[in-house]
Amino acid sequence: MRAPIARDPYAVFRIRDFRLALASKFFVTLGVQMQSVVVGWQIYQLTKDPLALGLIGLAEALPYIGCLLWAGHQTDRSEKRRMILWAEGGLFLCAFLLLALSKTRSPWPLYGVIGLTGVCRSFLWPSATAYVDMTIPQAIYSKAAGWNSTLWQVGAILGPALGGWIYAVSDASHAYLAVVASLGVAVWFATRLAPKLAVAPNSAESGWSGLWGGIRFVFSHQAILGALSLDMFAVLFGGAEALLPIFADRMQVGSSGLGLLRAALPAGALVVALYQSHRPPFRRTGRALLVGVSLFGLCMVLFPLSHLFPLSLLLLAAAGAADNVSVVIRASILQAMTPNRLRGRVASVNGFFIGSSNEIGAFESGLAAKLLGVVPSVMLGGMMTWVCVLVTAWRAPALRQLRLQYDPVAGEPTTP
């Protein structure tokens, strides 16, 4: 006898469009992560400047954040599959441009293409998120979030390792060619998705009012706002991914070692994602989220003190494991609480928080390293993460006290 759908960890894979969307997302992740390592190493080899690494994040973040609200609004008004195809096709063309620039002597053309990828990602994020949320039954939202995170982490492990290895044994052009191939496969999977039409908007959500609908929704739910804010500020201050080329150079492990350092974070996250895909969600959700982010900060304090490559990999893997707790919790809450008519706009707000933490955080890391030194800046960032946890626990009691109520009949959590 088949287990109830909510208790079956593999139920989501019986949904054809979820499988195709997940496959497309995997190859996008694989390609983008390869591209990130290759661009980072290429620019560091050209400049030897930590601020130049930080500018990579800023070049992508400004157009990404600038387009997000409009992208989410358009997602809710448009057919989702077409939006995904346009966005992934744009990433594919950007990879070709980077391939053409693989021999450049200046980082500035690379920054320009990175900016274009930010625009493409701003449309892909809400459209892909809304597509998946509209494809799966509500009873298995948390399982879908777990598997979504799992496949993303696999791509984020293989992408940096593969990109760094190809660069090490060959050159940037061959590494960019692998990026083009991966994104081409992603587009092919996206062409096989079934269309998902827009949900009719409320009459009160036309024009500018509709554009700001996702922001109003998020700010009216303290638990959602607290979870997004905590993740944003923790990674904004505590992330050190942009500076990994410097640590790879310091430990003399080259581009292949850089790929492994970049892969260590998602490797640790993958372990936790698989675990969460096979178990009920944390019942004391708020506490689990706060503890996970606190452990992430601890790992970031210890990481820059390590001069041993294996220990550095272990600390980054532990940081990724702790961070993934918040990733799955945040995705589950958003899936369960967001109405279909707002999914694109709420996803764009979520993308704003994530983009602010990742890409703007990369610029902050580069600037802080330039001013304070690499080791002190990363340690201070980890300590600031603890401050973020304390402030969130104080200012967002709804998140601190959040418990997912487990339904013994359906086998699925619900939010109060």
pLDDT tens digits for range 136-173? 876 676 677 778 777 887 888 888 889 989 998 988 99
Per-residue pLDDT for 411 more than 50? no
Q: Which of the residue ranges 43-52, 174-183, 392-401 would you say has the lowest mean pLDDT? A: 392-401
Per-residue pLDDT for 63 more than 50? yes
User: Residue 282's pLDDT is what?
Assistant: 65
Residues in the chain: 416
* Maximum pairwise Cα distance, the chain: 63
User: Residue 235's pLDDT is what?
Assistant: 73
**% of the chain with per-residue pLDDT over 70:** 86
SS3 state at 123: helix
Per-residue pLDDT for 24 more than 90? yes
| Domain spans, the chain | 15-197+208-414
User: Residue 141's pLDDT is what?
Assistant: 67
Per-residue pLDDT for 351 more than 90? no
Which H/E stretch holds residue 222?
helix 222-238
How does the average pLDDT of the chain come out, rounded? 82
The 10 Å Cβ neighbour count of residue 394 is: 9
Q: What pLDDT digit, counting tens, does each position of 274-301 carry? A: 776 666 666 677 788 888 889 999 999 9
Q: Which residues contact 275 (CB under 8 A, 6 or more apart)?
A: none
Nearest to 17 by CA among 84, 75, 93: 84
* 272 vs 268: CA distance, rounded Å: 7
Per-residue pLDDT for 304 more than 80? yes
Q: Determine the average pLDDT of the residues in 308-329.
A: 88
Helices within 303-373 (DSSP H only): 309-337, 343-355, 361-372
Nearest to 172 by CA among 110, 252, 232, 114: 110
Per-residue pLDDT for 193 more than 90? yes
15-197+208-414 belongs to CATH 1.20.1250.20 = yes
pTM of the model: 0.72
Check: CB of residue 335 under 8 Å from CB of residue 413: no
